[in-house]
């Protein structure tokens, strides 16, 4: 009986959490016009979540592209098709690896710090103070960070993809000796702007950016105002974002294909 009750509670709590998250999203969307007055704050957040994440995104993109080039070259060589390395590297980065790995890194690098920052604001009553001063904390704290995440993710993803292509080119052409012209012509022959770059890179990464930013802001905003609560909220941001990214990736791929 008690196990049944616990189970029911868990289901209800999860449902309530999802519901709160959805309502929170509506609040943020409603507060976006108001937050445009704090455009400097949005810019500062964009600097923090976007520009400061460039190092990790570029490094990881380079290595992902390099390892793809290395692996694919040897597998494709079995079929005598190692000249197709360029196109397979580009397609796998554009369609899956670019958006997904960027989003996972983004959740780890930017999402956690958003959660921790807002969580500490909550714990130290800064948010309550804003409400007292008639400053809408959703418009001043939550919406700029959400917007920044939404804008930064596609840009970061493009940088990731470009570095990945560069890494694949470095390994495939410079080290393993695929012909430079073959590498590029195979790639340009198979990559479709609409299907792969607009749908694959841009839409996916924008959706992931929205999801990661929403989860990070929501977890920070609703954290219990204790140091333990902030720690849990930060962990939950990573876990929930990762699950949401991978699940959403499947759904988006199924829809966009």
Partner 1 sequence: MSQRKSYAVGTGLFIVLGFAALAYLATQTSSIANSHQGASYRFDAQFANVGQLKERAPVKVAGVRVGQVQSITLEPGKDVADVTLSIDNTYNQIPVDSVATIYTSGLLGDQFVGLQFGKAKQYVADGGHLGLTRPAASLEDMLSKFVGAGGVADAIGGTYAVRADFTNVGALSVGAPVKMAGVAIGSVASIKADPVKLDAVVTLAIDKQYNQIPDDSSVAVFTSGLIGSQYVAIQPGGSPNSLKDGDQLVLTQSAMQLEDLIGKFLVNGSSSGGSSNNAGGNGSPNTPAGKH
Judged by the rule CB under 8 A, the positions of this chain that interact with partner 1 are: 40, 43-44, 46-48, 50-51, 54, 81, 90, 94, 151-152, 154-156, 158-159, 161-162, 165, 184, 187-193, 196-197, 201-202
b/e map 16-42, b = 16+ CB within 10 Å:
eeeeebeebbebbeebbeebeebeebb
Closer to partner 1 by CB, 51 or 243: give it: 51
What minimum distance in Å lies between the beta carbon of 209 and partner 1? 12
Q: Is 187 exposed, middle or buried (0-12, 13-18, 19+ CB in 10 A)?
A: buried
Closer to partner 1 by Cβ: residue 17 or 185: 185
Query: Which of 128-143 are b and which e, b meaning 16 or more Cβ less than 10 Å from the residue's Cβ?
Result: eebeeeeebbbbbbbb
Rank residues 93 and 141 by Cβ distance to partner 1 and give the closer one.
Answer: 93
Angle at 187 between CA 182 and CA 193, to 5 degrees: 150
Residue 134 or 193: the one with the smaller Cβ distance to partner 1 is: 193
The region that residue 224 occupies, defined by phi over 0 for left and psi between -120 and 50 for alpha, beta otherwise, is beta
Cβ 44 to partner 1 shortest distance, Å: 6
Q: What is the secondary structure of 173-211 as a DSSP string?
A: IIIS---HHHHHHHHHHH--IIIIIIIIIIIHHHHHHHH
Pair of tokens at residue 102: 């960027």
Estimate to the nearest angstrom the gap between the alpha carbon of 109 and the chain centroid. Answer: 10
**CB 61 to partner 1: min, Å:** 10
- Least distance (Å) between residue 52 CB and partner 1: 8
- The neighbour count for residue 71, using CB atoms within 10 Å, is 14
Q: Residue 61 in 3-state DSSP?
A: helix
- Closest to partner 1 by CB, 122 or 169: 169
Shortest Å, Cβ 181 to partner 1: 12
Cβ closest to partner 1, residue 31 vs residue 46 = 46
Closest to 23 measured CA to CA, from 214, 247, 209, 210:
214
**Nearest approach, Cβ of 60 to partner 1 (angstroms)?**
14
Q: With respect to partner 1, which residue has the nearer C-beta, 184 or 232?
A: 184
Least CB distance from residue 172 to partner 1, whole Å?
Answer: 13
Cα distance between residue 125 and residue 3, in whole Å: 37
């Amino acid at each position: 009986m008690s196990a049944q009750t616990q189970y029911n509670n868990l289901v209800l709590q999860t449902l309530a959490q999802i519901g709160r998250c959805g309502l929170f999203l509506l609040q943020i969307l409603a507060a976006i016009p108001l937050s445009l007055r704090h455009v400097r704050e949005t810019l500062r957040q964009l600097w923090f979540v976007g520009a400061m994440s460039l190092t990790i995104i570029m490094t990881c993109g380079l290595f992902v592209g390099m390892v793809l080039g290395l692996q694919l070259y040897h597998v494709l060589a079995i079929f005598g098709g190692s000249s197709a390395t360029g196109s397979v590297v580009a397609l796998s980065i554009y369609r899956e690896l670019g958006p997904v790995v960027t989003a996972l890194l983004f959740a780890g690098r930017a999402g956690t710090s958003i959660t921790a920052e807002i969580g500490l604001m909550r714990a130290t009553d800064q948010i309550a103070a804003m409400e007292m001063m008639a400053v809408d904390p959703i418009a001043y704290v939550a919406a700029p960070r959400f917007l920044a995440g939404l804008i930064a993710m596609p840009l970061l993803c493009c940088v990731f993809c470009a570095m990945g292509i560069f890494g694949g080119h470095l390994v495939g052409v410079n080290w393993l000796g695929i012909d430079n012209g073959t590498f590029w012509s195979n790639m340009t022959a198979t990559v479709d702007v609409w299907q792969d770059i607009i749908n694959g890179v841009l839409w996916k990464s924008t959706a992931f950016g929205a999801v990661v930013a929403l989860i990070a802001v929501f977890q920070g905003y609703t954290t219990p105002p204790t140091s333990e609560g902030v720690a849990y909220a930060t962990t939950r941001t990573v876990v929930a974002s990762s699950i949401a990214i991978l699940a959403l990736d499947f759904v988006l791929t199924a829809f966009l294909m």
